[in-house]
Amino acid sequence: MGDALEGVLLVAFDLDGTLIDSVPDLAAAVDAALIDVELAPAGEARVRDWVGNGAWVLLERALTDALGEAPSEVLLKTAHERFLEHYHRRPCDRTRLYPGVTETLKRLFGRGLILCLVTNKPEAFIHPILEHLGIDGFFSACLGGDTLPRRKPDPMPLRHLSQQFDVCPSYCLMVGDSRHDVAAGKAAGFRTVAVPYGYNHGEPISLSEPDLVVESLEQLV
């Protein structure tokens, strides 16, 4: 798999579904928020299919499922606020790294590659989770879904990193688990690598036509 990194100077990783399985904690916060607005909890299995577009969309999907129709703006705002409160209190009780992640990051970092994180998760949650899991020291920059005016699948976050570190997009790599990661990478001119084990709404990631699909991040090194 060495060809995937040939000439690469900067690697941008997605977080949820790529480096970490965060669904158990996300689902707990979603269910607590639904109960707060007097709706039935969704359960972890459903939440797993809704993750990937940020907290606002996650709650919109949960409310739509519970109500059988789109929620009002007021209800969505309330549920979103309650979700953030619950998740802020317990963001990583059951969140775990996928196998091989720490070793992969360690080896890429040791090669002198610039490692960055680009997630649609609100920025406030990123560093506490990375620190808890012991991988915060590997990343030169971390962008959340609310860091910039636009988020994935828009290429803005990736173009921002390319410009910040003065690296031509053709020497940059986007690694993710969803069609939004692949779309953002392609639009930014990055090479794209995808993993099949994450959160892609039940759709095979190969349908998004990344440059490469790897079963484990360890295959990158």
Beginning with the edge strand found earlier in the chain, give each strand of the sheet holding 212-213 in spatial order.
141-143, 114-118, 10-13, 172-176, 191-194, 212-213
Of the listed 3, 14, 31, 211, which one is catalytic? 14
Could you confirm whether 36 is annotated as catalytic? Answer: no
Omega before 153 within 30 of 0, i.e. cis: yes
Is 177 labelled a binding residue?
yes
Dihedral sign from CA coordinates of 42, 48, 49, 52: positive
The distance from CA 40 to its chain's CA centroid, rounded to whole angstroms, is 26
For residues 41 and 86, the answer to whether their CB atoms sit within 8 Å is: no
First vs last C-alpha separation in the chain: 7
Is 14 labelled a binding residue?
yes
What is the residue-wise DSSP string for 108-121?
HHHTT-EEEEE-SS
Output the six-digit token pair for 110: 């040791």
Is 65 labelled a binding residue?
no
Mark the binding-site residues for Mg(2+), compressed into ranges. Answer: 14, 16, 177
Q: Which residues are catalytic?
A: 14
